[in-house]
Amino acid sequence: MEPASRADWSDRRRLLTAASYASVGVALVLAFAKAWAWQLTGSVSLLSSLADSLLDVLASVVTFWAVRLSLSPADAEHRFGHGKSEGLAALLQGLIITASGLFVVREAVGRLLEPSAIVQPGIGVAVILASAAATGLLVAFQKYVARRTGSIAIKADTLHYSADLLVNLSVAAAIAVAGWSGWRFMDPLVALAVALYILASAFRLAVQAIDILLDREIPDNDRDRVSAIALAHPDVLGLHDMRTRHGGSHYIVQFHLDLPAEISLWRSHEILDEVEDQIRAAFPGCEIIIHADPMGVREAKDSFGHEAAAGR
């Protein structure tokens, strides 16, 4: 995951809102187009793509809600903000994608047992290729927004639509082969392969969302970078008891710093502020809690192996 945000907060709000509207709009257009094409062709692989698009609409609405909620400021009941709504949205997306995949498996197996011909394959191929083009543009925009904002909800939506892009291309090939060669088994076989890919994507997405909801530590390279920034301060003598987690699209970090025992409380406060400023320069939006310890004090420390000393 990217650091909290590389865009300032006004840009972040604008980008997330635009990505959410684009996701809902594209999902609605594709659902209507595929429903029309399915009625004309009778293709089960096209039906599977239609089912996925209908669930895309629901998933996109969930993402839209989560993004709007995550942008809400902290309040008396949610003093860490609402960022974890994005993790919840990603988990719901995983469940929605799973439902879509299971539906496609059911339809594909039924068509394997009772094959049927595809009519007007040209219309089906044209609609699917147009859908693939629209999905590709949406994915490119969402990847840009996810990179700029670090939003897990947008990242989840990007994964969802990336899978859809593969679905669309596979369905177009299946309709063409089944419709023009007469090999009826190609249509349900491709639908079944697409369904298995969808289920695998849903599993990966759900694991990532659960990691955020259960406060899994941030990536090791970012943890090490936070530690290195803190230890680089000339008055910091050591660091221990670091704990980190995702706050949606930003990091929440807390740790203890060992400081010279003889300095004043005022100077200790200044040092902590200086360390926080340096960390936020590297990870914009990061929430930081630092506890100052006088060097040499004896206290219980965690057992996770994150203690470090300044190299001076």
Q: What is the 3-state secondary structure (H, E, C) of 280-303?
A: HHHCCCCEEEEEEEECCCCCCCCC
**Is 191 found in the same domain as 74?**
yes
Instruction: Decide if 1 is inside a domain.
Output: no
Last residue of a domain, one of 157, 182, 213: 213
Nearest of 215, 216, 217 to residue 226 by alpha carbon: 217
**Is 159 found in the same domain as 18?**
yes
**Is 224 found in the same domain as 201?**
no
Tell me the two tokens of residue 271. Answer: 């040092």
**Is 143 found in the same domain as 16?**
yes
Tell me the two tokens of residue 177. Answer: 């082969």
**Is 173 found in the same domain as 60?**
yes
| Alpha carbon 127 to its chain's center | 28
Instruction: Decide if 2 is inside a domain.
Output: no
Predicted confidence at residue 7, as pLDDT, reads 45
Tell me the two tokens of residue 307. Answer: 């203690």
Last residue of a domain, one of 213, 234, 257: 213
Instruction: Decide if 135 is inside a domain.
Output: yes
Cβ neighbour number for residue 109 with a 10 Å cutoff? 14
Instruction: Decide if 198 is inside a domain.
Output: yes
**Is 230 found in the same domain as 209?**
no
Tell me the two tokens of residue 92. Answer: 């719901």
Q: Is residue 150 within 8 Å of residue 250, measured between CB atoms?
A: yes
CATH code for position 120: 1.20.1510.10
> Which are the contacts of 30, defined by CB distance < 8 A and separation ≥ 6?
53, 56, 131, 134, 135
Q: What angle do CA 88, 192, 200 make, to 5 degrees?
A: 30
Quote the domain boundaries for residue 14.
9-213
Residue 274's Cβ-count burial label (10 Å; 0-12, 13-18, 19+) is middle
Instruction: Decide if 256 is inside a domain.
Output: yes
Predicted confidence at residue 48, as pLDDT, reads 67
Predicted confidence at residue 286, as pLDDT, reads 86
Predicted confidence at residue 111, as pLDDT, reads 67
CA distance 19 to 76: 29
Instruction: Decide if 3 is inside a domain.
Output: no
Domains contained in the chain, number: 2
**Is 255 found in the same domain as 135?**
no
**Is 261 found in the same domain as 195?**
no
**Is 233 found in the same domain as 207?**
no
**Is 252 found in the same domain as 162?**
no
CATH code for position 277: 3.30.70.1350
Instruction: Decide if 109 is inside a domain.
Output: yes
CA distance 7 to 202: 29
Q: Where are the beta strands (DSSP E) in the chain?
A: 238-246, 251-259, 287-294, 308-309
CA distance 94 to 62: 11
**Ranges of the chain whose pLDDT falls below 50:** 1-7
Predicted confidence at residue 3, as pLDDT, reads 41
Last residue of a domain, one of 198, 213, 228: 213
Instruction: Decide if 4 is inside a domain.
Output: no
In SS3 terms, 32-74 reads as: HHHHHHHHHHCCHHHHHHHHHHHHHHHHHHHHHHHHHHHCCCC
Query: 308-309 and 238-246: which strand pairing?
Result: antiparallel
Nearest of 303, 292, 277 to residue 236 by alpha carbon: 292
pLDDT in tens, 187-237: 677 777 777 877 887 787 788 788 778 878 888 899 999 999 999 999 999
Nearest of 257, 244, 201, 236 to residue 310 by alpha carbon: 236
CA distance 261 to 251: 30
**Is 291 found in the same domain as 259?**
yes
**Is 229 found in the same domain as 201?**
no
Phi, psi of 256 (to 5 degrees): -105, 140
Predicted confidence at residue 227, as pLDDT, reads 94
Tell me the two tokens of residue 269. Answer: 């406060």
Q: Which amino acid is at 134?
A: A
